Structure 1
Amino acid sequence: MKALIETIVTSLVDHPEDIVVSESEEDTKIVYHLTVNQDDVGKVIGKNGRIAKAIRTVVYASKTDAEKRIYLDIM
């Protein structure tokens, strides 16, 4: 899942070397924390959050564990 997030975001940003995806897992959920360069935050979020919503839709659709919910935080 980390590779999927990195692949999607890499094509959107000007500083792909600053992309960091970390994962924290709990009993009922998995949270992915996406951190990008401060200059690229607007590009990842997009106008009215459209790009962020599209990224989340792809990530949620590709989940493999049916019992755990997946969340994506963009910082």
Structure 2
Amino acid sequence: MKALITTIVEPLVDHPEDIKVVEKEEPNKMVYHLTVNPEDVGKVIGKNGRIAKSIRTVVYAAGTNTKKRIYLDIM
């Protein structure tokens, strides 16, 4: 899942070397924390959060095979 998130975000940002995805597992959910360069935050979130919502939709759809709920936090 980390590779999927990185693959989606890389073309959107100017500093792909600063992309960091941290995975945190909890009893009934998986939380992924996405960190990018401060200059690229607006590009990842998009106007009115549209790009962030689209990224989350793809990640959630890819995680339907697991029994745990998946969350993506953009920091």
TM-score relative to the length of structure 1: 0.97
For residues 47-58 of structure 1, the aligned pairs below 5 Å read 47-58=47-58
- RMSD value over aligned CA atoms? 0.4
For residues 27-66 of structure 1, the aligned pairs below 5 Å read 27-63=27-63, 64-65=65-66
Give the equivalent residue in structure 1 for 2:9.
9
Give the aligned length: 74
Provide the C-alpha distance between the structure 1 equivalents of 2:33 and 2:26, rounded to a whole number of angstroms.
14
Give the equivalent residue in structure 2 for 1:74.
74
TM-score relative to the length of structure 2: 0.97
Give the equivalent residue in structure 2 for 1:26.
26
The AA in structure 1 aligned to 2:30 is: I
Query: Greater helix percent: which structure?
Result: 2
- SS of 1:11's equivalent in the other structure is helix
List runs of 5+ in structure 1 lacking aligned partners.
none
Give a deviation string over 1:9-63, Cα, whole Å, max 9, x none. Answer: 0000000000000000011000000000000000000000000000000000001
- SS of 1:62's equivalent in the other structure is helix
Runs of 4 or more above 4 Å deviation:
none
Provide the C-alpha distance between the structure 1 equivalents of 2:72 and 2:15, rounded to a whole number of angstroms.
20
Provide the C-alpha distance between the structure 2 equivalents of 1:40 and 1:55, rounded to a whole number of angstroms.
15
